[in-house]
Amino acid sequence: MKLLRYGAAGAEKPGLLDSEGKIRDLSGVVGDIAGDTLLPDGLAKLRAIDQATLPLVEGDPRLGPCVAGTGKFICIGLNYSDHAAETGATVPPEPIIFMKATSAIVGPNDAIEIPRGSEKTDWEVELGVVIGKTAKYVSEDEAMDHVAGYCVINDVSERAFQIERHGQWTKGKSADTFGPTGPWLVTADEVEDPQKLAMWLEVNGHRYQNGSTATMVYGVRYLVSYLSQFMSLRPGDIISTGTPPGVGLGLKPPTFLKAGDVVTLGIEGLGTQRQVCVQG
């Protein structure tokens, strides 16, 4: 299934994308794409519905973040060896973990706000993993049972805030609008192998990132198990798994976003995003 949330920001309704690419309303079935809806039994209940019986959503509504109630937005740094090389870093012996504030989460096509004082706002297409069942001290063999599905994420980053102002990375990752998420939550049963997905990102029509999840250093199975050793992962939590090469920081000369730029990105089978940059 392709689950989604549509409507005005803060007032989104749950929905799904049917086999014809039309939005169907789920608000008569579930309260939101969150919590118990993401549990295996909750997803099974949705799969059993005849989609043709659900109300059709007319027009072209705004799409919100594809999951609600996210308690933790966990990111993995330098998880593609070729991206690490372009930024002058080495692949870490264990995953680099940092948090992105959940207040950064926005819809897939909402504007990116360039923060005040920013000169180095950057882009990163990433595979998002949405947790569906609480994971605590799970093995790699058990890990995938705890994944509800996958989505596209743009891990927008302000490099000067992240790197040059000392301390941890979080302050360069957490500005409002720095977490476009969606358009859909594609349930795990529809993704044959999350480690074989093509991914890309363009700015103003120029393709900067053209990679694949096949080159991840630490894959989805490992990451879910690894993270669960340090914290419980709960329904709606998001793991953003790192980016392939082609970010602005790694270009010669480095290139960063400015107001008016248009960012488009996507992952095979998971949909696309489009954001216009505005001054915050």
Rounded to whole angstroms, the Cα distance separating 70 from 235 reads 8
- 8-37 in b/e burial notation, b at 16+ Cβ within 10 A? eeeebbbbbbeeeeebbbbeeebebbbbeb
pLDDT above 80: residue 86? no
> Per-residue pLDDT averaged across 89-104, rounded?
91
Nearest to 12 by CA among 29, 25, 21: 25
| Summary count for the chain: helices (H), strands (E) | 5, 18
pLDDT band at 90 (very low <50, low <70, confident <90, very high): confident
Structure tokens at 90: 């080495």
The tens digit of pLDDT for each residue in 216-243 reads: 999 999 999 999 999 999 999 999 999 9
Rounded to whole angstroms, the Cα distance separating 38 from 226 reads 21
Q: What is the pLDDT of residue 120?
A: 97
Q: Where do the H-state alpha helices sit in the chain?
A: 40-47, 81-86, 140-143, 159, 220-228
Question: Cα dihedral sign for 108, 111, 114, 115?
Answer: negative
- Tell me how many degrees the CA angle 189-244-2 measures, rounded to the nearest 5: 25
Structure tokens at 217: 């250093």
The tens digit of pLDDT for each residue in 140-165 reads: 999 999 999 999 999 999 999 998 88
Fold that domain 73-279 belongs to in CATH: Fumarylacetoacetate hydrolase; domain 2 (3.90.850)
Nearest to 177 by CA among 83, 255, 276, 244: 276
pLDDT band at 91 (very low <50, low <70, confident <90, very high): confident
Which sequence spans correspond to the domains of the chain?
A: 2-53, 73-279
Query: How many alpha carbons lie under 13 Å from residue 161 in its C-beta half-sphere?
Result: 19
